[in-house]
Amino acid sequence: MINFNYETDFKLESEAPIFNWIIDTISAEEYKLEEINYVFCDDEYLHKLNVEFLDHDTLTDIISFDYSVGKIIQGDIFISVERVVDNAKDFGVSFNEELMRVIIHGVLHYCGYKDKTEAEAKVMREKENLYLERLAAK
């Protein structure tokens, strides 16, 4: 099950295609979905979580809490819509493209991909691009 929750005025235009894309991505990575809760929020909301749970006093676009066991994916993904807007401008991409990248980024973390080192970040970006292309092809 995938739940989309909103702590801001933002709402996804159409949840069903995104839901299906996430399911397809998880399946392609040979994992199974238990439950993912997406929470779309603002910078202030996400900053509080970042300080409280991760002891990071910075703004970020996404925080994911992974409760997965083995190949069964379960977790909460918090996304700051404000950060996504700013990052889209900084990277010269559309808001929707950056939003989809962040949405799938959290899922890829649950599938075991990391992005702390340069090499890990390169693999993560390649996987993001692969699944963004698959979404665009639908």
Binding-site residue positions for Zn(2+): 105, 109, 115
Annotated binding site: 105, 109, 115
Question: How far apart, in whole angstroms, are the C-alpha atoms of residue 33 and residue 105?
Answer: 15
